[in-house]
């Protein structure tokens, strides 16, 4: 078979993966290998396969594809985004180390950092990511990594990584980016100086609301460390999850482009509605990080938020009137979803803490799906009425 021109574009890699199929009779779709055990060679441990080790066939396929999409040497598939964050950081931090993190992070990540890490002797400082001087001020001799999430859940803020990249490389520690909201179609953190990329693959990567999984991407040596954590803390995925995820990733490029298009149109429509106090979407000129988003993202994403006049009551009335957009947590799938972070990802924060983080009562997050945008607009219009 002739060798295809290299390098392949992202959409092609997402469909085919980086490995070429050459043998006649090979299936076009890589089959599900729903086996936990594999025959082993006698007299050696080399080549031993076991799904918990992250080396079973379906996981290997997704790992190779994700490394190609993120532009890293290697990637690892785990059983959830939360597992990915935990193992990614446990591979970087030891007791006595210090983690410097943005305070604008997913609620589960925040709990991991503030409730679990200190008990393991790992100190964590949360900083306002827009306060550029504070990052430097909070550095310690023991700091081993910087963690950020961008775009931020649920406020859709977009961070400029330039300063953090300098800080991390000057001090020789890792810049870790949770890039769940962007997917590699809209943003590839490594091209902006990140060392480690984390995804909740449950979201855009899979895209169909039917798989729980996570990905960590980085250098081959580092991913080997993460793999050891995954093996021993039991965070590997089932082969069927990996198979479904490979199928989801094949359509990532078209899905994300449609998410981007629909969200921009819905956000623009909402901007002029009198019941809406504020629309948060990085593609709008009114967004505080619109310039950063324009300069760094390839697309503004499928996530937006509304702050409704009338607070929590107005938000409840709104979500209960929606008929096309489902009231459900999570995000990044083909079906549009609306949720109130005060009852989901940020339920453990006090109302004051949420308001300080830009999530006042009345805040509704919308994960804009790939339906016809006219139906989404009329659904929102009806619910706002
Ligand atoms: C930005 C972000 N990171 C990580 C996670 C955790 O992922 P999972 O639910 O797949 O464990 C989530 C979940 O909502 C998220 O939104």
What's the CA-to-centroid distance between 5 and ligand 1, angstroms?
36
Residue minimizing CA distance to atom 8 of ligand 1: 81
In a domain, 116, yes or no: yes
What are the residue ranges in the chain where pLDDT is below 50? none
In the structure encoding, which two tokens stand for residue 144, read together? 């081993």
Note the pLDDT of residue 345. 84
Q: Are residues 201 and 285 in the same domain?
A: no
Ligand 1 pocket mutation pick from 77, 180, 329 by most atoms within 8 angstroms of CB: 180
**Same domain as 321, residue 222:** no
Give the ligand 1 atom nearest the CA of 149: 1
Q: Which atom of ligand 1 is nearest to the CA of 214?
A: 10
Residue 358 domain-assigned (yes or no): yes
Distance between CA atoms of residues 61 and 30, nearest Å = 8
> Are residues 105 and 207 both part of a single domain?
yes
Count of structural domains within the chain: 2
Domain with 349 in it:
253-384
Instruction: Tell if the pTM clears 0.85, that is, is over it.
Output: yes
Active site residue 20: no
Considering the domain architecture, whether residues 177 and 245 belong to the same structural domain is answered as yes
**Number of helices (H) and strands (E), helices first, in the chain?**
14, 12
Q: Residues 263, 231: one domain? A: no
Q: Do the domain assignments include residue 2?
A: no
Q: Ligand 1 centroid to 379 CA: how many Å? A: 27
Ligand 1 midpoint to CA 77 (Å)? 14
The CATH number of the domain holding residue 349 is 3.90.1150.10
257 occurs within a structural domain:
yes
Each residue's pLDDT tens digit, 298-340: 999 999 999 999 999 999 999 999 999 999 999 999 999 999 9
Asked if the structure places residue 165 within a domain, the reply is yes
One domain for residues 276 and 362: yes
Residue 4 belongs to a domain = no
From 250, 285, 312, the end of a domain falls on: 250
Tallying the residues shown for the chain, one arrives at: 385
Distance of CA 270 to the CA centre of its chain: 25
- Number of Cα atoms under 13 Å in the Cβ half of residue 98: 10
In the residue annotation, 52 being an active-site residue is answered as yes
State the CATH number of the domain containing residue 128: 3.40.640.10
Q: How many Å lie between the centroid of ligand 1 and the Cα of residue 324?
A: 24
Sequence-ordered strand ranges (E) for 137-247: 143-149, 174-178, 196-200, 214-218
Which of 250, 283, 305 is the last residue in one of the domains? 250
Residue found by looking up tokens 């981007």 in the block: 260
106 in active site: yes
């Amino acid at each position: 078979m002739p060798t295809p021109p290299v390098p392949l574009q992202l959409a092609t890699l997402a469909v085919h993966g980086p490995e070429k199929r050459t043998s006649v009779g090979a299936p076009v779709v890589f089959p599900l290998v729903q086996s936990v055990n594999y025959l082993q060679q006698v007299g050696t441990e080399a080549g031993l396969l076991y799904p918990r080790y992250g080396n079973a066939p379906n996981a290997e396929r997704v790992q190779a594809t994700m490394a190609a999409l993120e532009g890293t040497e290697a990637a690892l598939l785990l059983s959830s985004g939360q597992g990915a964050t935990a193992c990614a950081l446990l591979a970087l931090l030891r007791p006595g180390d210090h983690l410097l993190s943005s305070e604008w992070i997913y609620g589960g990540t925040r709990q991991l950092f503030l409730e679990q890490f200190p008990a393991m002797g790992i100190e964590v400082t949360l900083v306002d990511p827009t306060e550029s001087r504070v990052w430097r001020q909070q550095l310690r001799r023991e700091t081993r990594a910087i963690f950020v999430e961008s775009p931020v859940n649920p406020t859709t803020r977009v961070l400029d990584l330039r300063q953090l990249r300098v800080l991390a490389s000057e001090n020789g520690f890792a810049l870790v980016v949770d890039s769940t909201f962007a997917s590699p179609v809209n943003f590839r953190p490594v091209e902006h100086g990140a060392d480690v990329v984390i995804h909740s693959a449950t979201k855009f990567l899979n895209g169909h609301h039917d798989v729980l999984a996570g990905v960590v991407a980085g250098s081959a040596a580092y991913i080997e460390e993460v793999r050891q954590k995954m093996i021993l803390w039991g965070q590997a995925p089932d082969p069927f999850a990996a198979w479904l995820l490979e199928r989801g990733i094949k359509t990532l490029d078209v899905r994300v482009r449609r998410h981007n298009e629909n969200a921009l149109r819905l956000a623009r429509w909402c901007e002029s509605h009198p019941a809406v106090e504020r629309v948060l979407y990085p593609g709008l000129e009114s967004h505080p990080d619109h310039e950063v988003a324009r300069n760094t993202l390839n697309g503004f994403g499928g996530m937006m938020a509304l702050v409704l006049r009338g607070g929590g009551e107005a938000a409840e009335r709104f979500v209960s009137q929606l008929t096309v957009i489902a009231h459900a947590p999570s995000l990044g799938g083909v079906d549009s979803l609306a949720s109130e972070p005060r009852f989901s990802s940020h339920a453990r924060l006090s109302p004051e803490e949420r308001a300080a983080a830009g999530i006042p009562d009345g805040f509704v997050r919308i994960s804009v799906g790939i339906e016809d945008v006219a139906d989404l607009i009329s659904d929102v219009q009806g619910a706002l009425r």
